[in-house]
Amino acid sequence: MRVATSAQIAELDRRATKDHGISVAQLMDAAGRRVAQAAEIMLREHGGRRVVVMAGRGSNGGDGLVAARYLAAGAEVAALFVAPKEEFGGESAQALAAASEAGVSFLAGDAARHEDAIAKADLIIDALFGTGFRGTARGDAVGLIEAANRSGKPILAVDVPSGLQADTGTWDGPCVRASVTVTMGLPKVGVVLFPGAEMAGALYVGDIGYPQALMDDPSITTWLVTSAKVRELLPRRRPDTHKGTYGHVLILAGSVGYTGAAVLSTFGALRSGAGLVTVAVPQSVYPIVASKVTEGIAMPLADDGSALSPSAMARVDELLASCDVVAAGPGLSPAPGVARVVEELLGRDKPLVLDADGLNVLAGRADRLAKARPPLVITPHPGELGRLLKQPTPKIVEDRLGAARAAAARFRCVVVLKSAHTVVAKPDGEAAIVRTGNPGMASGGMGDVLTGAVAALIGQGLAPFEAAVAAAYLHGLAGDLCAHERGQVGLLASDVADRLPHAIHRVEAGLQVDPIRELRD
């Protein structure tokens, strides 16, 4: 499922009308029907029949008024306006007239009456501002947004919560905190990525009649990762196979004090289906790692007493000869010797996954990544990407999609920007958003498991971008399965690694149902 910007949705509307003869009134009617469908579901779940529609004078308000008309047949519906009815024009004015004829009552201009109506409602429909909203809510809209948020009642947002920027998921000023958002045609970037995803609540995608060819337009280069897509990507296991069939992963990880990273990345690779995993670590920590990794092959490398030394590359080159993919970085430390080893790896011809200290040692010299010889995947969190791009972490967080795309283009590699709703980007601008995962995964070692999983899927024959997408989805799903079984608090990276086979099984068997619901006739 593709994810659109406000400009792309405006173009879909234009082409639907111009090229396919679907009028604006038809699109608005379909949008209103989808909102009414979702409202009926919410009324059944929460009880009651009093609905308040907060309506702006634009097309978003028109969608809300169409929903009011449909709901009026079985509910008590009132519409609250932030502009005089005389200022409604075009299709929105027609929707207002039809809602009035259907028995919808109107309350305009009186803040006290508005707040009283909101307080007495069983459901609030937010149709103040749509995808074209920019800046800050002002005037009477501020009072409505604040009253709705204060009410504690379920709120259904039309397309995007009012006050939210549809393209970034950020807001400047009051913003509706919705229980449910019905987004039309395609999800919008701002309701899929955090922080906007939190304000949007549960997400419904409403079919409003866009022809499929328009929604599949390749110029819309962002998409949501679904279990069905991951199922397509995962390699099938034939009966007549052996461990060599499923790839040999070489992991360079660990240092004094950080042996767990080496162990967890190894488990991530093994639990993601790698046939063989060799974990090469500094000699000083080899006994610890070797005692923990029973199914992997532990190898000692030359070190400086705690971390890798440049002389380790002689043995690394020997190990490279028999492996299919390399993962480097977890727990390696930022020592000078580590930097030398990472730079050498960038010149070898094996697919390479770089994480953690494998990236930190390149801070200030990040353009070296663009000169890498092998296919390259980097898996930074926002802080690490900020160091590579020489930008503050809050700027990365503010526009994760843009930051991931910029890094992928600049460094000519696949970027996995780890966060709540991970973004995976390619140098050509294509990007995928992964919605699996939960706050319980905000603990040490999770990224190490993901690094191993990405490398394992590359070793099994997936292209780097596809491997990163599938691994990020499965990693998050494994975390969700753990949280479902034992809660989020105290969730360990080793728990997630252990649940990766279960996550893979659920996807392959078609048992995993993605949380976004579609509304259609």
Q: What is the DSSP string of 399-441?
A: THHHHHHHHHHHHTSEEEE-SSS-EEE-TTS-EEE-----GGG
For residue 381, give the 3-state DSSP assignment. Answer: coil
Residue type, 359: L
Neighbour tally for 480: CB within 10 Å: 22
Asked if the model's pLDDT at residue 113 lies above 90, the reply is no
Average pLDDT over the chain reads 95
Q: What are phi and psi of 189, to 5 degrees?
A: -55, -45
Give pLDDT tens digits for 446-495: 999 999 999 999 999 999 999 999 999 999 999 999 999 999 999 999 99
Asked if the model's pLDDT at residue 171 lies above 70, the reply is yes
* pLDDT band with cut points at 50, 70 and 90 for residue 198: very high
Is residue 3 within 8 A of residue 12, CB to CB? The reply is no
Measure CA 200 to chain center.
14
For residue 271, give the 3-state DSSP assignment. Answer: helix
Is residue 351 within 8 A of residue 324, CB to CB? The reply is yes
| Model pTM score | 0.94
> CA torsion angle for 35, 38, 40, 45 (degrees, to 10)?
-150
259: CB partners within 8 A, 6+ apart: 281, 285, 288, 289, 292, 331
For residue 511, give the 3-state DSSP assignment. Answer: coil
Residue indicated by tokens 């308040």: 52
302: CB partners within 8 A, 6+ apart: 282, 283, 308, 309, 311, 312, 314, 315
Give pLDDT tens digits for 246-297: 999 999 999 999 999 999 999 999 999 999 999 999 999 999 999 999 999 9
Instruction: Quote the percentage of the chain above a pLDDT of 70.
Output: 100
Nearest to 259, CA basis, from 448, 455, 471, 441: 448
pLDDT at 514 (0 to 100): 87
Nearest to 409, CA basis, from 391, 427, 431: 427
CA 156-7-436 angle, 5° bins: 55
Which parts of 440-515 fold into alpha helices (H)?
446-459, 464-486, 493-508
pLDDT at 15 (0 to 100): 96
> CA torsion angle for 8, 194, 435, 376 (degrees, to 10)?
80
Is residue 475 within 8 A of residue 467, CB to CB? The reply is no
In DSSP terms, which residues pair with 252 in a beta bridge? 280, 328
Mean pLDDT throughout 109-113?
Answer: 73
pLDDT at 109 (0 to 100): 62
Sequence spans of domains, the chain: 2-218, 227-514
Mean pLDDT throughout 127-156?
Answer: 94
* pLDDT band with cut points at 50, 70 and 90 for residue 388: very high
pLDDT at 271 (0 to 100): 98
Q: How far apart are the first and last CA of the chain?
A: 19
Instruction: Quote the percentage of the chain above a pLDDT of 90.
Output: 93
For residue 487, give the 3-state DSSP assignment. Answer: coil
Burial (CB count <10 Å: 0-12, 13-18, 19+), residue 47:
exposed
Burial (CB count <10 Å: 0-12, 13-18, 19+), residue 21:
exposed
In terms of CATH architecture, what is 227-514? 3-Layer(aba) Sandwich (3.40)
For residue 55, give the 3-state DSSP assignment. Answer: strand
509: CB partners within 8 A, 6+ apart: none
* pLDDT band with cut points at 50, 70 and 90 for residue 521: confident
Nearest to 163, CA basis, from 180, 146, 150: 146
The rounded radius of gyration (Å) of the Cα atoms in the chain is 26
75: CB partners within 8 A, 6+ apart: 43, 49, 50, 51
In terms of CATH architecture, what is 2-218? 3-Layer(aba) Sandwich (3.40)
